[in-house]
Amino acid sequence: MAQRAALVSLLTFLVLAAQANPPLASFAKATLPASSPQHAHPGAPASRVAAQDADSLPSRLVSARTGDAWDPTARAGNRLRRGLNARPNMVHLTFEDDLAASGDGAGTGLDPATVEPSDFTVDGQVPLAVQVIDLPNESLDPPQRLRPLNVFLTLPAAMASDARPTVALVGQVSDLASNATAAGQVVADDGLGPQLSLSLDRALAGQQAVLTITANEPLAAPPTVTLGELTDPATGAVTNGPPRAAQQTGPSTYELVITGDLLNQGTNPGNSQRVNVLADATDAAANPGRAGKTTAVEGALTLEFDTRLNGGLGMAPGTTPALVTVNGQAVDAGANPELEYARPLRVTINWAAEGGEYPGDTHGKVALTDLAVGWTPLGGGMQAVEAAPTTQDGIVYLLTFPDPAPGEYSVQFSGKDEANNVSVSGAAQPDRFSRTFTLVDRNAPVIATLWPYEGFTNSGARVVLTGDVTDAHFGLSRLLSGGTPADLKVVVDGREYGPGSLMLTALETGWHFVLPLSLATGPHTWQVIAQDWAANQVVSPLRNLAVEATPPAPTPTPTPLVVPAAQVTPAPSLAGSMAQVTVAQPTGPTRLASADGTVELRFPPGALSATAQLALTPLAASQVPPAPSGLSIVRAFRLEVFDTQGRTLEGVLFLQPATISFRLSQQELGLAVAQPGRLVVQVHFQGQWAPAQHTLRRAEGAVEVQTARFSTWSFAFRDLTPAETAQLGLEQQTEPTATPLPTATATHTPTPTVTPTPIPTPPPSTPTAAVSPLPTSTPMPPTATPTSTAEGPPRPSPSPTLAPTTPPTSPTPTAPLLTATSVPAALAPSATAAEAPAAAPSPTPARSAGCGPSARADLATALAGTALLGFAAWRRWAG
């Protein structure tokens, strides 16, 4: 008893010493014998101190469970993670202390300071980390966690979901009473759920998709699948439907066929939607497993279930463009609107609604199929129209008809979306979309010029009637070129002469006609009637003319050109860079080319009716009318005609089309070939630029255009980028402001005393140069008194699209741009011309290269029938 009393006294001393000096209470786990009790930390209840005093037995390892994890960052009461939150690299060990202490429960629990990772192995693996936790009191402050009997081990590698490893205590751990536990092992329970993997046979389904689920261990039952409709792409929120049981297809595989009838719980039941896929299952140990995410966020498995083709079905008005628009105007199904004629005609088919069928829709492309365009003219009888749709994104398709005719149009087509849907109902039979509209042309043709003028007296029975008939929409041109009987008539004394009696020459916007006929001596009347495809008709005022008996043939008088004075206006000198050539009734093809070969003019025999002076002038930037919006002019030229004294001939046209060829630079040719359609050839007609048909000769590196008109020409490119502008050597463009300049007038006084004289044609001889230098002197006075005027079109202000050139400062002739090559002798100035009074220098005003009266080029459009044409034709047909 005395010994026991001494031991108690020693222990009491140690406790008091520990309270007075706390560091003395910390001992290594091997400093005291296993049977020596160690008192609790300060703050422990007295009953706990008593329990430690009475505890003489070590704690025991009693169980282990895979997957249980401890998360110290979670809120209290929720730090033990298991089930779906289990971690495959953690094992939970449970120790037991069997001391039944009076009034305070079981024994003392483990001393955390004595527990290290090396004290354990899990199937031979040493853990990376260890945590000692008092689970029942884990929500209390650390001094009050009194009985830590739970140990969490973190392993270096994940375990299989059905693993049951052997956990062994290989080191020595002690409880708070310093009782050492030196050995023990257990087989861990399965606490990990099955691992599930999901796969879809497609990410985009039209009518059905197959979900395959693979498990890595036997399951207690087939997995269940929850399909949720995405309702908010920003947050990934979904509206879930009920769980669906998958069907087992193999030892560890299961399938669920997803069809429209399974999608019945969201905001768009049974129809197109983006579906979030979530699968759940349990293993034989009732551990849960899951694949997928509860929200459609990054990493979630989603399926775009597109059940129909969408042509605007179900879309709120105004949320998407109309399925079909014509020149920007929506055309609805069942409607047949009358649309004002436009050239070109643009029909747009826009499947934009396909890409907005449901939240998260990323599949908006539609293939256009079974396209057919029909046209019904005013007279009836539908005809098929060739249509070549273009698209850049597989959503918007554009049909362009450059030269449409008035009448009713029908556009029919089908489509197939990326999920292979062909109908708006999901049926297998393709839907046929149909739109109808009527193109209405309310613009009548225009009779631009007629010859001869009112009250004209013709010497001789042979009379030539000429004129220009144009149409803003080319309705007349299509009639004459398409073989359809055209309503273009010249009525003489009540008798109609149709296209079969007329000599027709194509212009850029219409036709030039010539009607030669013999009339009896005396008064006559004539007029022109023109009607386009849309039945718009124009009738010219009735004109009077008289035919007098043919006078005796006069003695031939040398003269270079016979033309009434009313059709001649003084012209400046043709000095400078102007290229000119005198042509007198060419008997063979004539070809004129610049020295460097960049410009060429070709015209056939009979293209000119009499001796004339031709000039082709390159224009500087200050001389070029402003380009239409979106076009950059590269080069411009003016084609003009004068008499041999340098006077402008008004209204003269080629009787047969001539060809102008422009040689392209390497940069220009590359751009024209790489992007067809960007090169535009234009003619300045009636005060504005109009596009002209052209041919790109890739092998020759040139662009060609045919014309019967003397006017200003240019070629340009559409929408050049700054880099392309620099490559072509152009200046950065600004939008020009048109400033009309004063118009010029041409007199129209008949000169009956002038007698037509044949122009002698010398026999063929050695070709000679056809370039005639013209005089430069003081201005010539007018030759007739004006009785009526014809206004030329206004001249806009210069365009900055061309690099400017400096005009000559003196009238000294320079090297011509064009020189005649292989010109027959008949084209050279004849002796008759040399003996004419015009051989002496005529007083004409000097001018810089390329400049002239504002009307000298464009007045050709106002007077197509001229005295030159009339008298020359009279000579030709009168014999």
830-846 pLDDT, tens digit each: 332 323 333 333 333 33
Q: Which of 172, 171, 170, 213 minimizes the C-alpha distance to 194?
A: 213
Q: Which of 248, 243, 236 minimizes the C-alpha distance to 262?
A: 243
CA distances from 74 to 41, 138, 139, 145, 777 (A): 27, 12, 11, 17, 105
Per-residue model confidence (pLDDT) at position 292: 95
For 276-286, the pLDDT digits (tens) are 999 999 999 99
Tell me which of 670 and 131 has the higher pLDDT.
131
Q: Which of 406, 463, 517 minimizes the C-alpha distance to 874?
A: 463
Q: Which range, 9-13, 205-209, 617-621, has the best average confidence (pLDDT)?
A: 205-209
Environment class of 102 (CB within 10 Å of its CB; exposed 0-12, middle 13-18, buried 19+): exposed
Residue 492 has pLDDT above 80, yes or no: yes
Strand partners, 712: 638, 684
CA distances from 323 to 311, 348, 353, 393 (A): 6, 8, 8, 15
Range 862-867 average pLDDT: 36
Per-residue model confidence (pLDDT) at position 868: 38
For 782-840, the pLDDT digits (tens) are 333 333 323 333 333 333 333 333 333 333 332 222 223 222 222 233 332 323 333 33
Tell me which of 419 and 741 has the higher pLDDT.
419
Instruction: Yes or no: say if 350 and 396 are a contact pair by the CB < 8 Å rule.
Output: yes
CA distances from 808 to 174, 570, 578, 580 (A): 113, 21, 11, 17
Tell me which of 823 and 489 has the higher pLDDT.
489
855 is written with which tokens? Answer: 């009307």
50: left (phi over 0), alpha (psi -120 to 50) or beta: alpha
CA distance linking residue 570 with residue 838, whole number of Å: 13
Per-residue model confidence (pLDDT) at position 692: 78
Range 626-636 average pLDDT: 84
Range 650-679 average pLDDT: 76
In b/e form, how buried is each residue of 11-35, taking b as 16+ CB within 10 angstroms?
A: eeebeeebeeeeeebeeebeebebe
Per-residue model confidence (pLDDT) at position 587: 52
Per-residue model confidence (pLDDT) at position 651: 54
For the ranges 307-316, 481-490, 498-507, which has the lowest average pLDDT?
481-490
For the ranges 183-192, 236-245, 719-728, which has the lowest average pLDDT?
719-728
Phi then psi for residue 280, to 5 deg, are: -130, 145
For 561-576, the pLDDT digits (tens) are 344 555 555 544 443 3
CA distance linking residue 269 with residue 281, whole number of Å: 26
For 424-434, the pLDDT digits (tens) are 988 899 999 99
Per-residue model confidence (pLDDT) at position 486: 62
For the ranges 118-127, 355-364, 424-433, 860-869, which has the lowest average pLDDT?
860-869
Mean pLDDT, the chain, rounded, equals 73
Per-residue model confidence (pLDDT) at position 37: 36
For 436-458, the pLDDT digits (tens) are 999 988 888 888 888 888 999 98
Per-residue model confidence (pLDDT) at position 581: 53
Residue 657 has pLDDT above 60, yes or no: yes
Residue 230 has pLDDT above 70, yes or no: yes
The number of CA neighbours under 13 Å toward the Cβ of 866 is 33
70 is written with which tokens? Answer: 């401890």
For 721-731, the pLDDT digits (tens) are 787 777 777 75
Confidence of residue 377 (pLDDT cuts 50, 70, 90): confident
Confidence of residue 631 (pLDDT cuts 50, 70, 90): confident
Per-residue model confidence (pLDDT) at position 710: 75
CA distance linking residue 546 with residue 521, whole number of Å: 7
CA distance linking residue 527 with residue 749, whole number of Å: 20
Instruction: Yes or no: say if 25 and 41 are a contact pair by the CB < 8 Å rule.
Output: yes
Confidence of residue 746 (pLDDT cuts 50, 70, 90): very low
Residue 861 has pLDDT above 60, yes or no: no
Per-residue model confidence (pLDDT) at position 711: 79
Confidence of residue 49 (pLDDT cuts 50, 70, 90): low
CA distance linking residue 502 with residue 66, whole number of Å: 104
Residue 206 has pLDDT above 80, yes or no: yes
Phi then psi for residue 226, to 5 deg, are: -110, 120
Tell me which of 230 and 699 has the higher pLDDT.
230
Per-residue model confidence (pLDDT) at position 579: 47
